[in-house]
Chains A and B, each alone.
Chain A
Amino acid sequence: MSPASPRSFFDKVWDDHVVADLGDDAWLMHIDRHFLHELSGAVSFKGLDDAGRTVRHPELSFATIDHVVATEPGRGRSSRIPGGIDFMSGLAAGVARHRIRFFDVGDSRQGIVHVIAPELGAALPGLTLVCGDSHTTTVGGIGAMSWGIGSSDGEHVLATQTLVISRPKSMRVNFDGRLTHGVYAKDMVLALIAAIGADGGIGHAVEFAGEAVRALPIEGRLTICNMAAEMSARLGFVAPDATTLAFLHGRTYAPKGALWQSASDYWLSLASDEGAAFDREVRLDCNTLAPQVTWGTSPEHVVAIDAVVPRADAARDETGRRSRERALAYMDVAPGQALQSLPITGAFIGSCTNSRLDDLRSAAAVLRGRRVADGVRAICVPGSTAVKHAAESEGLAAVFISAGFEWRESGCSLCMSAGGESFARGSRVISTTNRNFEDRQGPRVRSHLASPATVAASAVLGRVADPRPLLAH
């Protein structure tokens, strides 16, 4: 490629991080930021210490506690799951030994790792950022090149500040048009996964672009990039623009003064050039998009809120049909059944997908002056301690609590039963999370994924419900 040929955002960020070309599509890449949480971080430290290695750049790493920590009020550094405490103390010992900054339980900066990374300005556009967690793609919402790794690779980053990876193919998704009232970023990305499949992004670095993405606040962009992991994309990102700069300006770890100026010039220069080539392009019209909800056990099992459960033979092939049959049985739903006829007994608002202030506002808009239906256990877990405090001071917490929601401390909580808490065995729940996998939110729990407004509306009506009639215009 000649230097003059147009480059995409991804091409530019990639080029700026190549330490060495190791041949046959193996690249030694510099890693600018590393985030650790207790579940994978404790194991990375163990590997590092067992091998007698040191951390090459502790100043480029950040650690917090989110996965196994309890989220009930007044929790402290406790976990409901046997062994959970070992992960927290393993991480705490590792960060102390290696002098890594640590936002412990009780620190105002604590929170779900992908929520706090942008909130603190620790993640920045054009950086490579990794974490031992698949939803690290979230941080692409502010224009970072971020992805999840295993704990052995985490050890590799601690020891070398690099990783060896292959170069992903490139994809651009253009979300055209404008969202209508009651439709959100979550609906955009669910519709996308329905269209291209849970493996639709496999091996790709995906740029989210188009009018509807540009119009989204950073929170919404983070939601879309979060779910890039659910289309099995290696990376998902939105190129930085004025919205990104306004979001990051003044944050603790963001550059200040003259450095801010040179950094922002660089960030804005990263936008994909006119005519940049992509291995694949996809378009999706947002003008007619309705709220979306999952019916099955894969994030591709998605329909519009006013639709019915599809037939298994709507799948692409035989293996897909078998997977769908399995999903129908697990979810205890039948083809032709209206989604909105399904009663729920649990509602969860939280997780790195949808637990930021903007998400809580959209749910509160539905809940204000209403009550959760009898028999529904509704829980809201803010994504970070800072989000929790902000929601309390602007009166959102009061809305959740008087509607009958439990109001929790920040963490992953019921997103994943590793927290030690789960919904009742076999119950049907609606959730703002990203994974409707079997057993994810508890043994045999049936999870339907949706936006915070849809979850709030469903909690109020005691069944899967369209939020639009409950939202004031």
Chain B
Amino acid sequence: MAMPPFVTLDAVAAPLVLDNIDTDQIIPGKELMRVATSGFGDGLFSEWRYRGGAREENPDFVLNREPFRNAGILLAGGNFACGSSREVAVWALRDFGIRAVIASSYGGIFHANCFRNGVLPVTLAADSVRELAATVEAGNVRLTIDLPQQQVRSASGQAFGFKIGALHKQMLLEGLDAVELTLSRSDEIRAFQARDRERRPWVWIDNDAADLAAGTDGPR
């Protein structure tokens, strides 16, 4: 599916600078139960956002406070969104309205999932993230993320450059569909597979005979 392009984002940034915020926190297991790829914003951080299991807001949680209710950017600590591979973590952030995260490092699967959904994971040094969080907490709540220039800027004049792979950047800027891109390389895939069948024939199984019989394998 083609994605909405990401070029420049000027938005309120919500500070949630804790390490190792895992995807079970971003979207708890019980919020996952629909075969769908959108409509998960309500479940975002639900154990932190709501009290007592009901949807009664916890006024202490940052996303329940003005102006962070309308955050478009999340400032987080190290190893953000580690843990479960659930892509719903990205969908929940996106559905809430968050199009970019700024953190010092990420869980690898989440990082990859972001690019498939038009969400930009910016990596900055932990000190820089803390500086930005301090600025936001002091009332300068808006940040600008400029993807073409690969820069994060605050209203108080801070500017931090960030790195991003060329392909990821292009995919976000143009909202490209990853599957389409790869399908355009079908010849190369075919050539690889032809070579591989010669080299590693044991990789290539088929799905008839053995699969029809009930399995008898087990631990030994």
> In this assembly, does A195 line the interface, its C-beta being within 8 Å of a C-beta of chain B?
no
Q: List the B residue with the shortest CB-CB distance to A89.
A: B35
- Give bound CA distance, A318 to B77, whole Å: 11
Interface pair B126/A319, CB less than 8 Å apart: yes
Known interface pairs A32-B203, A108-B214; A357-B18 also in contact (CB < 8 Å): no
Interface pair B207/A100, CB less than 8 Å apart: yes
Which among B66-74, B78-86, B138-146, B150-158 touches the partner chain? B78-86
Residue numbers in B under 8 Å from A20 (CB-CB): 185, 188
Interface pair B25/A438, CB less than 8 Å apart: yes
Q: List the A residue with the shortest CB-CB distance to B106.
A: A202
Interface string of B33-51 (1 = CB under 8 A from A): 1111100000000010000
> In this assembly, does A356 line the interface, its C-beta being within 8 Å of a C-beta of chain B?
yes
Partner of B35, one of A42, A155, A198, A266: A42
Q: Which B173-220 residues sit within 8 Å CB-CB of chain A? A: 178-179, 181-183, 185-186, 188-189, 192-193, 196, 199-207, 210-211, 214-220
Known interface pairs A30-B189, A199-B20; A39-B32 also in contact (CB < 8 Å): yes
Interface residues of B (CB under 8 A from A): 1, 17-20, 22, 24-25, 28-30, 32-37, 47, 53, 77-79, 82-87, 90, 105-110, 112-113, 116-117, 126, 130, 165-168, 178-179, 181-183, 185-186, 188-189, 192-193, 196, 199-207, 210-211, 214-220
Which among A127-135, A276-284, A337-345, A456-464 touches the partner chain? A127-135
Residue numbers in A under 8 Å from B30 (CB-CB): 81, 417-418
Interface pair A90/B85, CB less than 8 Å apart: no
> In this assembly, does A99 line the interface, its C-beta being within 8 Å of a C-beta of chain B?
yes
Known interface pairs A134-B84, A439-B47; A26-B35 also in contact (CB < 8 Å): no
> In this assembly, does A177 line the interface, its C-beta being within 8 Å of a C-beta of chain B?
no
Most-contacted residue by chain A among B86, B202, B205 (CB, 10 A): B202
- Give bound CA distance, A425 to B52, whole Å: 10
> In this assembly, does A77 line the interface, its C-beta being within 8 Å of a C-beta of chain B?
no
Q: List the B residue with the shortest CB-CB distance to A20.
A: B188
> In this assembly, does A333 line the interface, its C-beta being within 8 Å of a C-beta of chain B?
no
Which among A144-152, A208-216, A237-245, A304-312 touches the partner chain? A144-152
User: From DSSP, what is the main secondary structure of chain A's interface residues?
Assistant: mixed
- Give bound CA distance, A443 to B25, whole Å: 11
Interface pair A203/B108, CB less than 8 Å apart: yes
Interface pair B166/A87, CB less than 8 Å apart: no
Given contacts A121-B217, A160-B182, 7 further A-B contacts (CB under 8 A): A47-B1, A87-B35, A151-B37, A153-B113, A164-B178, A219-B219, A319-B130
Interface pair B202/A255, CB less than 8 Å apart: yes
Interface pair B165/A109, CB less than 8 Å apart: no
Q: List the A residue with the shortest CB-CB distance to B214.
A: A108
Known interface pairs A53-B179, A266-B200, A357-B219; A43-B189 also in contact (CB < 8 Å): no
- Give bound CA distance, A94 to B35, whole Å: 12
Residue numbers in A under 8 Å from B217 (CB-CB): 109, 119-121, 251-252, 386
Q: Give, as a whole number of angstroms, the nearest-CB distance from B121 to chain A.
A: 13
Residue numbers in A under 8 Å from B207 (CB-CB): 58-59, 99-101
> In this assembly, does A401 line the interface, its C-beta being within 8 Å of a C-beta of chain B?
no
Interface residues of A (CB under 8 A from B): 16, 19-20, 22-26, 28, 30, 32, 39-40, 42-43, 46-47, 50-51, 53, 58-60, 68, 81-84, 86-87, 90, 99-101, 103, 107-109, 119-121, 124, 126-127, 132-134, 147-153, 155-156, 159-162, 164-166, 198-199, 202-203, 219, 229, 232, 234, 247, 251-253, 255, 259-260, 262-263, 266, 298, 300, 317-320, 322-323, 326, 356-358, 384, 386-387, 389-390, 416-418, 425, 435, 437-440, 443
Interface pair A119/B112, CB less than 8 Å apart: no
Residue numbers in A under 8 Å from B87 (CB-CB): 40, 43, 132, 150-152
Partner of A323, one of B77, B181, B220: B77
Residue numbers in A under 8 Å from B126 (CB-CB): 317, 319
- Give bound CA distance, A30 to B216, whole Å: 30
- Give bound CA distance, A255 to B216, whole Å: 16
Interface pair B33/A84, CB less than 8 Å apart: yes
Interface pair A386/B85, CB less than 8 Å apart: no
Q: Give, as a whole number of angstroms, the nearest-CB distance from B25 to chain A.
A: 6
Q: List the A residue with the shortest CB-CB distance to B126.
A: A319
Residue numbers in A under 8 Å from B1 (CB-CB): 47, 50-51
Q: Give, as a whole number of angstroms, the nearest-CB distance from B163 to chain A.
A: 10
Interface pair B166/A319, CB less than 8 Å apart: no
Q: List the B residue with the shortest CB-CB distance to A158.
A: B179
Interface pair B219/A387, CB less than 8 Å apart: yes
Q: List the A residue with the shortest CB-CB distance to B21.
A: A323
Q: Give, as a whole number of angstroms, the nearest-CB distance from B42 to chain A.
A: 15
Interface pair A133/B85, CB less than 8 Å apart: yes
Residue numbers in A under 8 Å from B179 (CB-CB): 51, 53, 155-156, 159-160
Interface pair A101/B211, CB less than 8 Å apart: yes
Q: Give, as a whole number of angstroms, the nearest-CB distance from A356 to chain B.
A: 6
Residue numbers in A under 8 Å from B32 (CB-CB): 39, 418
Known interface pairs A30-B196, A47-B1, A166-B165; A19-B203 also in contact (CB < 8 Å): no
